[in-house]
A = this chain, B = another copy of it.
């Protein structure tokens, strides 16, 4: 039998409960696929065939097409007319450029955060930093990675510039498939934390230029870590 009329559990009525599902299928697909790319469950270069994706999610090709269109515009996938979309696979040159921009964007965020963060935001940043210190001591790369994301996000938001925060998050998402191996070694973990310390100190003191420099250095080191693991291409 065809899979039409999905029945989808008798609940068609409006449910205010539940984890805030997105209103349209396109949007839901976009979020799920983006997450799969960012989390690395879909590797760069993987083709996204409309029919295959549609079957996988039990929807028609239309919302799939629209989701892919938006993912392409946001840079997570690449499309060419009359050919299947692919999970984005930037050249090494382009990746270098993206890392360079990432360092500058994060530096700008840190500089603005040093000036604009509220007292509560500064205390929160300090707390995150201390948590990360604990995780270094415990040697937990997995959780370090998670809290590290929050640490950086806190600085983006601390800039009090929504547009800056958006493009920085977008760039981070596009780079995320290529920095997976970052915290494999404990040495890198502890070095990262030492660099964070310089960033936090500068921000808490309100020293804009120092915060920028510290963050720029931190991100550049991250890039070098990537280049070592990725090898030539």
Contact = CB atoms under 8 A, between A and B. Distances in A.
Interface of A: 23-24, 26-27, 65-66, 69-70, 72-74, 81-82, 94, 97-98, 100-101, 104, 108, 161-164, 167, 171
B97 A104 contact: no
Contacts of A26: 69
B66 A161 contact: no
A81 B167 contact: no
Contact of A81 (B24, B73, B97, B163): B24
Given A26-B69, A101-B161, A101-B163, 8 more contacts: A23-B82, A24-B81, A66-B66, A73-B73, A97-B161, A104-B104, A167-B167, A167-B171
Chain A, interface SS category: helix
Nearest to A102: B163
B98 A163 contact: yes
B69 A73 contact: yes
Top 4 closest A-B pairs, CB basis? A73-B73, A23-B81, A97-B161, A97-B163
